[in-house]
Amino acid sequence: MNEKSYCPACHETQKQLRGEKGDFKVYVCQKCGTLYIAGKKAATSFNYDDYYDEGNLAIPDFVERRLTEIVRSFEKYRQNNRFLDVGCGAGTLLKAALNEGWQAEGIEVSRSSVEFLRKQGMKVFHGDLSAAQFSEGSFDVAAAAEILEHIPEPINVLKEIYQVLRPGGLLWATTPHGKGASARLLGVRWTCVAPPEHLHLFSVKGIKNLLEEAKFRNVRISTQGLNPFEIIHTLRNGKVLQAENKEINKMDERAFNRYETSYELNASLSASALRRAVKNLLNRMLDTSRLGDSLKIWAEK
């Protein structure tokens, strides 16, 4: 297979090498600033069959509470009472929707996840969205949390989501931000730059272009979230590696668990009303500066 020669967000061919990670080259689009992977292996499908296990199927209570708040924010879109979670993973968002009275179902490519969720009585299709063959206009809301960065051609799944939403329905999605503070400071050492699992990290401009290409309207995008522990850890280790005359752009063997530290930080910031207010203020600052590490997306059909 030939190397991908264009940006997955805006289709621009002009790119600059940002670095290498493992066997993969990481480029930045010269037009929209999206980071993406190129190389012969980039087109090879990542195996998600056993992606989930007891460790990543267990979700902290504060995450469940936050997802319940998010689902409640979809209330004004409830007409047919149908909710679709594309890439439902551990099923936490799906569970929150069911608890709020939605007729909710999921799509998931991971066999281990599907088996886990079906045992809990959830309706989950094993495969991708195109294979599920939902009728056009079936759903009020479709969620796509942390999946767009995994898909070789994300425009295709956005068009499929558009088709299954009713007119006026909502797409709610999240994906890592390729121009946030961590991407700027850490480059390819940021743990979200994770080929072949993550194939691209969008900029605000890039993801907006994709959504408009898929015909979504009333697009709102915010940038939120930051893990200072990872920035400190990675920059400190970079200095150590430099002192040892080692290559800092290669994978650092000094392991850092992004998920655990993010959970710990968010749990701490959610522990009281005052801390939640501080968290909200910080997120507003990250959104205003467009430096948050996560893109939060609202778009209507």
131 band by pLDDT with thresholds 50, 70 and 90 = very high
| Long-range contact set of residues 190-193: C-beta below 8 Å, sequence gap at least 24 | 190/230, 190/234, 191/230, 191/256, 191/258, 192/149, 192/258, 192/293, 193/21, 193/26, 193/35
Neighbours of 182 (CB within 10 A): 28
2 band by pLDDT with thresholds 50, 70 and 90 = very low
Q: Which helix (H) or strand (E) holds 82?
A: strand 82-86
Q: Dihedral sign for Cα 9, 15, 16, 19, please.
A: positive
Q: What average pLDDT score do residues 136-155 get?
A: 96
Question: What's CA 12's distance to the chain center, in Å?
Answer: 22
Residue 167: HSE in the Cβ half-sphere, 13 Å Cα cutoff: 0
Whole-number Å distance between alpha carbons of 118 and 21 = 36
Pick the more confident residue, 51 or 156: 156
pLDDT at position 17 is 95
In this predicted structure, the answer to whether residue 242 has a pLDDT above a threshold of 50 is no
What are 250-298's pLDDT values in tens digits?
A: 444 446 676 677 767 777 777 788 888 888 888 899 999 999 999 999 9
In sequence order, the β-bridge partners of residue 37 are: 26
Pick the more confident residue, 218 or 243: 218
42 band by pLDDT with thresholds 50, 70 and 90 = low
What are 6-29's pLDDT values in tens digits?
A: 899 999 999 999 999 888 999 999
In this predicted structure, the answer to whether residue 213 has a pLDDT above a threshold of 90 is yes
What are 108-127's pLDDT values in tens digits?
A: 999 999 999 999 999 999 99
The whole-chain average pLDDT of the chain stands at 87
Q: What average pLDDT score do residues 177-185 get?
A: 96
| CATH superfamily membership of 46-176 | Vaccinia Virus protein VP39 (3.40.50.150)
Question: What's CA 260's distance to the chain center, in Å?
Answer: 17
Domain boundaries, the chain: 46-176
Residue 159: both structure tokens together: 């068009």
What are 43-95's pLDDT values in tens digits?
A: 556 777 767 766 666 666 778 888 999 999 999 999 999 999 999 999 999 99
Q: What average pLDDT score do residues 101-112 get?
A: 95
Neighbours of 200 (CB within 10 A): 29
Neighbours of 152 (CB within 10 A): 17
Cis peptide before 152 (omega within 30 of 0): no
pLDDT at position 233 is 82
pLDDT at position 162 is 98
DSSP-assigned states of every residue in 112-172: HHHHHHHHTT--EEES-HHHH-PPTT-EEEEEEET-GGG-SSHHHHHHHHHHHEEEEEEEE
pLDDT at position 174 is 98
Question: What's CA 282's distance to the chain center, in Å?
Answer: 20
Which of 73-82, 197-206, 213-222, 234-243 is the least confident region? 234-243
Q: What average pLDDT score do residues 196-210 get?
A: 96
